[in-house]
Amino acid sequence: MFKSLFLITLFVLLFSGVNLTAKDSNPLLTKYDTPFGVPPFDKIKPEHFLPAIKEGIIKHEAEIDKILNNKKPADFKNTIEALEYSGELLNDISTVFFNLSSANTNSALQKIAKEISPLLSQHGDKINLNPALFKRVKDVYVQKTNLKLNTEQAKLLEETYKNFVRGGADLDESKKKRFSEINEKISLLTLKYGENVLTETNNFKLVIEDKNDLAGLPQSAIDEAAETANNNKAEGKWIFTVHNPSLIPFLQYASKRELREKLWRAYMSRGNANNVYDNNEIIKEIVNLRLEKANLLGYKSYAEYVLYDNMAKTPKTAYKLLNDLWTPALKVAKKEAEDLNALVKREGMNFKIEPWDWRYYAEKLRKEKYDLNEEQLRPYFKLENVRDGIFTLVNKLYGITFKENNKLPKYHPDAISYEVYDKDKSLLALIYMDFFPRESKRSGAWMTNYREVYKKDGKKVIPIISLVCNFSKPSGETPSLLTVDEVETFFHEFGHGLHGMFAKGNYKSISGTNVSRDFVELPSQIMENWSTEPEVLALYAKHWKTNTIIPAELVQKLKNSGLFNQGFITVEYLAASLLDLSYYSKTEKLSESPNQFETAEMNKIGLISEIIPRYKSAYFQHVFSGGYSAGYYSYIWAAVLDADAFEAFKENGLFDKKTAEAFRTNVLENGNKEDAMTLYKRFRGKEPIIEPLLKRRGLK
């Protein structure tokens, strides 16, 4: 997943840039006196944000007034480019704020967010709904065929005009007023939804006092739970949480079924416990407000509004892909459930597999069928080795190199910063990496940036990228040892990072990861393919104690088990994708409770009781407090692209520089300068086909 979810939701940041001016002692309002102009994290305090945001809004309004008061007829430079470069101060401050709100929040920031979000929403609408400003944009747009613009300029003009229209500029005054009210309400509701999930995630702790209750758990999980207990002043006990690095090993290995159920229920009931953090009413309001917003703009559903601007174009197209995959995936998942239930019976137990049993018995079955369990692999996936392996891989592919710079200001001590150099030794980007869970960080993993690449006055401004994850922490003398899933997540987020680092262009709003939601996952998902290839494993999979390369027989076991549990993995994802589309394809208001709606939708598609959607409604942050509403399908859409694209590397060589250069120049560098399918076909020479994905997942 890419970018902070808070940043994605704030369309007000459409007009952006970085160029600070001096303003008293607020570090957010003075030119950053830091290496490479990174934010002065060591000087920024929560109380700086609100006055800085207000000052940024004032300056942005003045810049808009300058455009409006220009006596010359509207043209590309004095209107479209001027808009693109306006709001630089506001964007810079907002970027820092919302990145911190997701990666290192606190009660002060959460309180400020409640004031800032409606301010930004109102400000964005004031710009987007300004009739005089829209007239200038439209005056340029209607002349587009006569302006002799280059490809990038033409795309900027197209996107600027389209964003004004989709932002309500063509509405009458009464509808504009309601449109603005809806945006302000949604900004606060999505904020509250995310805060509720974070609070519920942090609040639950499974405290174990009896060592016998740890039966089956690997020592690494036990040690981490002991350390968590010590940090919570519960020495001599063990604490497990619903953060993934704690949750997943417990569900995979803990022998005590009743404890697995307790932890699982705590995880799946977040935001749905009928308490002050309950998200059900918030979900209804968000869904209904987004439907009303879409209706105001002339769309039958919010999904229709969203997908018009994506590769899929229509809900029908997205549904077709999901349904084409659902039938074979569900068939495989049902067979997997039969196998797990058979294992339960072989062990002399008399119960049917429940969701809290699946990972436990799947791990047992993997050991039985392939003589492999995840704990055999983790000693070879030391975090630092995986990181160095990724560095080596991208050096082989693209020639880039990394140099740690521990003198850059950091927003948290865990963050590590690097200078990134291109193959010609020029400085390409800066990148922060922040690996471990904490209560101030929301769950999941994402790529974001503190500055996007752009050019102004002919000078390139390099990007500042950030990768934020929640990986297994070091414990005692044991370093951070990643699971296979965490390794793939690291490769995934680094792919997003490459998309941001390699971006080229004059205009940040159409560069880097600012592409359609169902295209943005291609650069990240294709990177996952390299993570378990034998030639790549040889670069980084070294035992943390002996430094020996992962044995060939273990690699073969990993390869043999590659199709194992793919039915479960695909079905839980597809169920969540279909749930998302179902909410936002509604053409009538949601009247029933989200629980009733979700149950009905899952029954409709025939989801088996042993599996729940990857994200249930009450903690589905992607679509209720992030940028993936009506767009969660995009991961599987991009999976079709990435499976097809990786075939080019398999045909020409995993480290083939010519293929890598073609992928870099056609996909990674171009951002949204051209249509996504045009860029893909330029790389691949043809449109993608679905067969490589079906084969990879064992669904064909």
> Mean per-residue pLDDT for 86-105?
97
Evaluate whether 218 touches 249 at the Cβ level (below 8 Å).
yes
Q: Say how many C-beta atoms besides its own lie within 10 A of residue 285's C-beta.
A: 17
Provide the residue count of the chain.
700
Q: Which residue's structure tokens are 């769309």?
A: 299
Q: What is the pLDDT of residues 510-552, one digit of tens each?
A: 999 999 999 999 999 999 999 999 999 999 999 999 999 999 9
Q: What is the pLDDT of residues 128-144, one digit of tens each?
A: 999 999 999 999 999 99
Decide if pLDDT at 5 tops 70: no
All residues at 6 or more sequence positions from 463 whose CB lies less than 8 Å from its CB, including other chains: 429, 430, 449, 451, 452, 453, 500, 501, 503, 512
- CA atoms lying within 13 Å on the CB side of residue 55: 18
> Mean per-residue pLDDT for 153-162?
98
What is the identity of the amino acid at 344?
V
Q: What is the pLDDT of residues 446-491, one digit of tens each?
A: 999 999 999 888 889 999 999 999 999 998 889 999 999 999 999 9
Evaluate whether 466 touches 434 at the Cβ level (below 8 Å).
yes
Q: What is the pLDDT of residues 8-24, one digit of tens each?
A: 333 333 333 333 334 45
The predicted pLDDT at position 456 comes to 80
Q: What is the rounded distance in angstroms from the CA atom of residue 667 to the CA atom of residue 391?
A: 20
Mean pLDDT of the chain: 95
Question: pLDDT > 90: what percent of the chain?
Answer: 95
The predicted pLDDT at position 1 comes to 60
pTM for this entry: 0.93
Q: What is the pLDDT of residues 57-91, one digit of tens each?
A: 999 999 999 999 999 999 999 999 999 999 999 99
The predicted pLDDT at position 700 comes to 81
Residue 493 known to be catalytic: yes
Q: What is the rounded distance in angstroms from the CA atom of residue 528 to the CA atom of residue 493?
A: 9
> Mean per-residue pLDDT for 552-574?
96
The predicted pLDDT at position 458 comes to 85
Decide if pLDDT at 253 tops 60: yes
Domains of the chain: 5-128+130-166 (1.10.1370.40), 204-268 (no CATH), 379-560+635-696 (1.10.1370.40)
> How does residue 383 score in pLDDT terms, banded at 50, 70 and 90?
very high
Q: Which residue's structure tokens are 């067979």?
A: 335
Active-site residue (options: 63, 84, 88, 493): 493
Q: What is the pLDDT of residues 174-206, one digit of tens each?
A: 999 999 999 999 999 999 999 999 999 999 999
Q: What is the rounded distance in angstroms from the CA atom of residue 218 to the CA atom of residue 231?
A: 20
**What's the DSSP call for residue 414?**
T
- CA atoms lying within 13 Å on the CB side of residue 397: 24
Q: What is the pLDDT of residues 650-690, one digit of tens each?
A: 999 999 999 999 999 999 999 999 999 999 999 999 999 99
The predicted pLDDT at position 476 comes to 87
In terms of phi and psi (left: phi > 0; alpha: psi -120 to 50; beta: otherwise), the region of 434 is beta
Q: Is the Cα dihedral 450, 163, 524, 614 positive or negative?
A: positive
Decide if pLDDT at 332 tops 80: yes
Distances (CA, A) of 487 to 381, 385, 445: 7, 11, 12
